[in-house]
């Protein structure tokens, strides 16, 4: 299944009000631009897409900000949760320490699925999945323009095959204001 075939489901999951596009294959990033507010970034590989979004586009040094990660995994694929053996890669969103001092991203409890061919029961995410958490910005940041950069790690598998693990970089613009904004 091509990624574009499930754009309508992604748009429905993101957009609370109707936005009309000339084509059902509207680009998700152009839809996000119309939403306004804080910036979001979309990363994708194969049949997995993730949208990473902080709650704000401006903050002060040392602030705590919420962040969300919404995943869409096309059938028949799945990605892994924790705990997982070292044979597979658990899904994770990690922010770089250049702007973020501390992070805590919580993923939902994965579904335990028995894979007969492997003789194993593994924690997986299928379809849509939402993760969220908090970032603590570094206190030593000077006012200016920065990037909340990081990576999304996952391994995309079906019941019969696994693709190579992915580590997709992202960067989201954020303005650091003085502590008294």
Strand pairing report for 166-176 and 58-59? parallel
In this prediction, residue 180 carries a pLDDT of: 56
Distance CA 86, CA 46 (A): 22
0.85 surpassed by pTM: no
Beta strands in 46-141 (DSSP E): 48-54, 58-59, 64-73, 79-80, 92-95, 100-106, 111-115, 120-125, 127-137
72 DSSP β-pair partners:
49, 128
Distance from C-alpha of 114 to C-alpha of 125, rounded to nearest angstrom = 13
Q: Which tokens go with 60?
A: 């002060």
Residue located via tokens 């990624």: 3
Model pLDDT, residue 159: 86
Which residue segments constitute the domains of the chain, with CATH numbers given?
Answer: 43-170 (2.60.40)
Q: Are 158 and 76 in contact (CB under 8 A)?
A: yes
pLDDT at 152: 97
Q: 15 by DSSP, 3-state: which?
A: coil
| Other Cβ atoms closer than 10 A to 29 | 11
pLDDT tens digit at each of 181 positions of the chain: 444 444 444 444 444 333 333 333 334 444 444 444 568 999 999 999 999 999 999 999 999 999 999 999 999 999 999 999 888 999 999 999 999 999 999 999 999 999 888 888 999 999 999 999 999 999 999 999 999 999 999 999 998 889 999 999 999 999 999 865 4
Strand pairing partners for 159?
none
């Amino acid at each position: 299944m091509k990624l574009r075939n499930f754009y309508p489901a992604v748009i429905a999951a993101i957009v609370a009000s109707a936005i009309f596009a000339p084509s059902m294959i509207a680009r998700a990033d152009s839809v996000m631009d119309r939403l306004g507010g804080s910036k979001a970034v979309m990363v994708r590989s194969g049949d997995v897409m993730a949208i990473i979004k902080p709650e704000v586009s401006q903050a002060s040094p040392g602030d705590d900000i919420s962040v969300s990660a919404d995943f869409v995994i096309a059938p028949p694929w799945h990605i892994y949760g924790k705990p997982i053996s070292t044979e597979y890669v658990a899904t994770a969103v990690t922010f770089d320490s250049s702007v973020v001092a501390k992070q805590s991203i919580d993923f939902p409890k994965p579904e335990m699925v028995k894979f007969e061919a492997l003789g194993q029961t593994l924690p997986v995410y299928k379809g849509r999945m939402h993760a969220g958490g908090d970032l603590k910005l570094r206190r030593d940041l000077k006012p200016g323009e920065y990037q909340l950069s990081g990576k999304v790690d996952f391994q995309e598998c079906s019941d019969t095959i696994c693709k190579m693990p992915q580590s997709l970089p992202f960067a989201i613009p954020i303005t650091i204001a003085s502590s008294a904004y």
